[in-house]
Chains A and B, each alone.
Chain A
């Protein structure tokens, strides 16, 4: 039995003259994601990417799982490859279809005859296959409007493909088709979700993390690296920047009014992050903030933070409730790591009563009261970069 996977494009199909661009990025991403899964033949036709395994020992469940995390694919179909004659179509496919049809109560058959030299026309193929299915699975009825299962037959140049089950792909557009972003990755629940969401829109992300030993531990850093590795399953390989931030926090604590501590700290984090962006040609910052979730995420606080930024800050979780963010993090598999109980970046320093409505001029005054430039430079110079590859 030979299976093939059909990856149906999402909105790439709607693109105009640069559709080819998106398609080749998608193909590159798929190839990279399957690099350790075996050898495949790839072909493209009619907004579909065909992934055909070249050997029999390939674990197709694993391949489908990997492909379901590649952005740009809206639907995934596993299909059976059969010879291009009615006899094979009718008889070789029944066992394969059984899995989907046995649990269903109604079905319809859909035929696509791309090869117009095939002797039967599409409605005739439907009729014959439908008849055969009814004979074999007498409990089924035909329902062409709301079927439980749609069996699709595609007659292509070399083979015919038959499939019954469609799985949802990751959606979005291929990573790498929309520029580069720097994700501020804290170790909480929100930031990995934010990274996932911009990657879905084609942004290739890098991640930056601020560590403050001894206030934060080696294990806290390991946890953040693990999060980066987990989102790499969707986002592709990630450069992980780890900034030593202890000194800045200690100086802040001594020199900044307590209620403005978090805001000024965030401005300094943004400053450091965008220095790497400028150096590495990264066009935006990405954070997991959601309006009003905590004191530093009020509208007023964000205005003050953004005033320190020379490039846009994207916040894909901005309108989401915590429960919605948690739902996404569970879906992409980062939740369990996010809730590991290690001291994070700044719980020790958090002011008792942070200002929820900071005024920009006051914040700026608090920041210029001390010359942070040498510390920022030192932090940037001592930052370590590590390539995090998606597992497997």
Chain B
């Protein structure tokens, strides 16, 4: 089995699995006053500390959620609620993940003015375009760090720092799901007030996410009830998954540079091989090396994907969130129409090898020989 769909989800690492089991064993409710509760609370605090450290934040700035989608929903609707009474402008990009894009669409229906900054002719989002879209009336700027379909890295640091200098009242939110523990990421440097994180993209289990909220930034709770997470996110904490998240962060937070180097060499090899065999590459060397968009002209993505799957190679067409739906993001990036329907997303983890890329390329060549192309 060759797994090239790490942008969809990753295999939980051994440390995470063990930590989850441990969290299941210590089944006390962190809100209980008795000893078992305290023990569970300690586990949560350790995980919180690991995540805080990894992004250069304080422990009390980290909140656990069920997934990055919840984090982004909480951030966007929360800021719209607190600051949106007077300031009605939201600045975002046209290539966001649906967990941000759909929230903005929803707010637009309720009277907000949403400005969606689009990539330029070369598929790059320019920091200046984001900065100039922000004005006095802007309550929120929400931009992703790494695009989930093409691996494009957005100039968040540049944009957010300028915005915070000129409009300190505007809240900056960054969906960091595809960048976390893959490219260097410190919240202060990023000038982000809020960021969204996901566990299962970094070898932790599904069903756990986190939010960083800078001290002093007020976001109202999305879930109300028993007052867990300092009243910000009610609902009994999912101790096992939180432990798994923490363990994965501990394992990977010190090796960002080495792993990046490895992904980079995998990508370089993939691009060379693609060039050699006439396979189009949508991404480029400026993108995240973990996410690579390629296209085999004349063959439908879905057919290619199933052809590869028959050979034990798992990739994605566009992003996994959209299943059969056509990706509007691919179009936004200005990828030529003849490639749009034939796009495959090859996303790496540290476990992938050069040999696996050879197998992928061989299978794609085989596909070209065997499969019927679109007419």
Contacts and interface: CB of A to CB of B under 8 A. Distances in A.
Interface of A: 213-219, 249-250, 253, 258, 340-343, 348-352
Contacts of A348: 300, 303, 372, 374
B218 interface: no
B110 interface: no
Interface of B: 300, 302-310, 323-325, 371-372, 374-375
Residue of B303, B307, B309, B323 with highest tally of chain A CB at under 10 A: B303
Contact of B303 (A340, A343, A350, A352): A343
A217 B303 CA distance: 8
B307 A214 contact: yes
A342 B372 contact: no
A217 B306 contact: yes
A352 B375 contact: yes
Contact of A213 (B310, B323, B324, B325): B310
Contacts of A352: 375
Nearest to B325: A341
A218 B372 CA distance: 19
Contacts of A249: 372
A214 B324 contact: no
11 contacts: A214-B304, A214-B305, A214-B306, A214-B307, A214-B309, A217-B306, A219-B324, A341-B324, A342-B302, A342-B324, A349-B372
A346 to B, nearest CB: 11
Contact of B372 (A217, A253, A341, A343): A253
A213 B306 contact: yes
B375 A343 contact: no
B372 A250 contact: yes
Nearest to B370: A250
A217 B304 CA distance: 11
Nearest to B303: A215
A258 B372 CA distance: 13
A161 to B, nearest CB: 49
Q: Top 9 closest A-B pairs, CB basis?
A: A214-B306, A341-B324, A214-B307, A343-B302, A342-B324, A253-B372, A215-B303, A217-B306, A352-B375
B63 to A, nearest CB: 35
Given A348-B300, A348-B372, 14 more contacts: A213-B310, A214-B305, A214-B307, A214-B309, A215-B303, A215-B306, A215-B371, A217-B302, A249-B372, A253-B372, A341-B323, A348-B374, A349-B372, A349-B375
Residue in A219, A250, A343, A350 whose Cβ sees the most chain B Cβ within 10 Å? A343
A48 B20 CA distance: 60
A248 to B, nearest CB: 12
Most buried by B among A340, A341, A342, A350: A341
A143 B118 CA distance: 68
Contact of A214 (B303, B325, B375): B303
Nearest to B324: A341
A317 B209 CA distance: 50
B4 to A, nearest CB: 16
Nearest to A216: B306
